[in-house]
């Protein structure tokens, strides 16, 4: 099995190293990841400058671009063979609910999906205990499942894993995205030269976090697996819109 790995935290990130270690026994593993932390890059492509690809001491390819650039480059020309699956992560921090819109981790997987390859985004929900190996093991089990039995439809899976050791992880739960409250306000500050600067504030707390959501599953210690789609059309609103436009 040919496995393409990427992330948004950068090629040096511990979550990527854990993912690489977990995937090595499963097939031919290639890493193409950003040269620096591009968390929050969403689906951006770099169109205003050339991209280079360098190789790290441990054989990871890294790119002066976004997570989307990395997977796009890999699949559309860099690699000799198309990967059978794209796995992105393990992200340092959850990507649940609205996070998925901003996430570079999800975007890297989504780029694979858009290019016709099954893809999995994996995030560690929690930033304190660093159980990347457990999350990577979950990803490896999913990849093994893909290799044993092809999923009959195009698949983009968003996986969030509680930050606990593997033997304390609950079962997989198929979820939907929850929703967060509005983000915290920007934080106004001053740089050492007295200029006013702003920091984007924290994401809002979970608002829609009831049973069935990714937030709920992870809070219960289970591994959340959300099937994602890319079409943003709000079909249920089309009739209301037609009426409003005709009125
Ligand atoms: Mn990240």
User: Mean pLDDT over residues 161-170, rounded?
Assistant: 96
- The CA 8 to ligand 1 mean position distance, Å, reads 5
- The CA 68 to ligand 1 mean position distance, Å, reads 13
29 band by pLDDT with thresholds 50, 70 and 90: very high
State the Cα–Cα distance between residues 1 and 85, nearest whole angstrom. Answer: 8
Instruction: Report pLDDT for 126.
Output: 85
User: Mean pLDDT over residues 69-96, rounded?
Assistant: 97
Is the pLDDT assigned to residue 4 strictly greater than 80? yes
Stated pTM of the model: 0.95
Its sign, for the CA torsion 167, 173, 176, 178, is: negative
The closest alpha carbon to 224, from 233, 211, 234, 208, belongs to 211
Q: Which two tokens stand for residue 231?
A: 């079409």
Instruction: Report pLDDT for 124.
Output: 98
Q: Which two tokens stand for residue 99?
A: 């996070």
Q: Tens digits of per-residue pLDDT, 102-145?
A: 999 999 999 999 999 999 999 999 878 899 999 999 999 999 99
User: For 137, phi and psi rounded to 5 degrees?
Assistant: -65, -40
- The CA 189 to ligand 1 mean position distance, Å, reads 24
Q: Tens digits of per-residue pLDDT, 32-62?
A: 999 999 999 999 999 999 999 999 999 999 9
Q: Which two tokens stand for residue 30?
A: 């290639």
- The CA 246 to ligand 1 mean position distance, Å, reads 45
91 band by pLDDT with thresholds 50, 70 and 90: very high
- The CA 37 to ligand 1 mean position distance, Å, reads 7
Its sign, for the CA torsion 69, 73, 74, 76, is: positive
- The CA 67 to ligand 1 mean position distance, Å, reads 10
- The CA 92 to ligand 1 mean position distance, Å, reads 5
pLDDT more than 90, % of the chain:
93
- The CA 9 to ligand 1 mean position distance, Å, reads 4
Q: Tens digits of per-residue pLDDT, 184-228?
A: 899 999 999 999 999 999 888 888 999 999 999 999 999 999 999
State the Cα–Cα distance between residues 109 and 126, nearest whole angstrom. Answer: 20
Instruction: Report pLDDT for 28.
Output: 98
pLDDT more than 70, % of the chain:
100
């Amino acid at each position: 099995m040919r496995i393409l790995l990427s992330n948004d935290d950068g090629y040096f990130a511990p979550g990527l190293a854990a993912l690489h270690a977990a995937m090595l026994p499963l097939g031919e593993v290639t890493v193409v990841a950003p040269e620096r932390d591009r968390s929050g890059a969403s689906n951006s492509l770099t169109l205003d400058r050339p991209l280079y690809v360098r190789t790290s001491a441990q054989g990871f390819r890294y790119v002066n671009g976004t997570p989307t650039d990395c997977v796009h480059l890999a699949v559309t020309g860099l690699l000799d063979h198309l990967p059978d699956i794209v796995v992105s992560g393990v992200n340092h921090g959850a990507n649940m609910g609205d996070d998925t819109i901003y996430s570079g981790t999800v975007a890297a997987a989504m780029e694979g999906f858009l290019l016709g390859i099954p893809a999995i985004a994996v995030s560690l929900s929690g930033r304190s205990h660093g159980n990347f190996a457990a999350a990577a093991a979950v990803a490896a089990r999913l990849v093994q499942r893909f290799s044993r039995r092809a999923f009959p439809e195009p698949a983009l899976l968003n996986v969030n894993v509680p930050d606990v050791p593997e033997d304390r992880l609950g079962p997989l739960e198929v979820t939907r995205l929850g929703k967060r409250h509005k983000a915290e306000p920007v934080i106004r500050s001053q740089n050492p030269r007295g200029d006013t600067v702003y920091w984007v504030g924290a994401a809002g707390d979970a608002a829609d976090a009831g049973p069935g959501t990714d937030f709920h599953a992870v809070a219960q210690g289970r591994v959340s697996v959300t099937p994602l789609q890319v079409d943003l059309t709000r079909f249920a609103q089309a009739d209301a819109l037609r009426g409003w436009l005709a009125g």
